[in-house]
Amino acid sequence: MEKMPYRLELDDVTAMLEPAAHVTSTDWQRRLPVLNGSMVTLRELRKEDAPSLVALLTAEEVSRFISPPPSTVEEFERFITWTLRQRAAGLYVCFAVTLRGSDTAIGIFQLRQLEAGFATAEWGFAIGSAFWGTGVFQDAAEVTLAFAFDTLGVHRMEARAAVANGRGNGALLKIGAVAEAVLRNSFLRNGRYLDQVLYSIVESDWRRPDAPARQPYYFTSRIH
């Protein structure tokens, strides 16, 4: 999700939000569950996550292929408040990524509905570069997708990655995403229009018997 849905100028426009319909469960609209993979724990964002996320996600190597993340702690705190309102409205979910045994946020995974009730959704992610190539992304991606298909009731998951973003394209292919099209000049970054690849993962592919083995995960309703 290189075009992050949050915009500072929309921060107070709560009257425009419409609740989602026909979701599998509404419990997540009250509070996100905690998702545990083999390496990571995903939980609801908290305002105290802002300092670490600003430091990690505004680094040039992380932000070069995404819409500019909030650049100060105060702006990131506003973003976190916005994610909670959007989640309560049933439109959007944002998890903080932490390492198992640590509560420091090292990245985020986002899900937003493209079709009412999350039948079609878009996802995006950003992880601090110190954790690239460690298996953290794949572990977090797998538990996020399981939550999307099992809890949100997603049928089709979409993602976009700039053609020039070799690492991002490789990560999506590794978890089984299918490249469907090249979207020409679809992403404006630093004054230049970039081509993007549109990827999808559909529920039937995710659940097929011959799908690659997944890391085990479990979720709890409490935040520790």
The answer to whether 152 and 93 are in contact (CB under 8 A) is: yes
* Residue 17 maps to a domain: no
Looking at residue 111, the DSSP 8-state letter turns out to be E
pLDDT tens for 29-54 read 999 999 999 999 999 999 999 999 99
CA distance 137 to 172: 10
Does residue 14 belong to any structural domain of this protein?
no
- The answer to whether the beta carbons of residues 159 and 144 sit under 8 Å apart is no
Q: Which residues of the chain have pLDDT under 50?
A: 7, 9-25, 213, 215-224
CATH number at residue 60: 3.40.630.30
Instruction: List phi, psi (to 5°) of 51.
Output: -60, -45
Span 187-224, pLDDT tens digits: 998 889 999 999 999 999 888 876 654 544 444 433 33
> What residue numbers bound the domain in which 113 lies?
25-216
Share of the chain above pLDDT 70, in %: 82
Residue located via tokens 């992880």: 127
The verdict on residue 82 lying in a domain is: yes
pLDDT attached to residue 24: 40
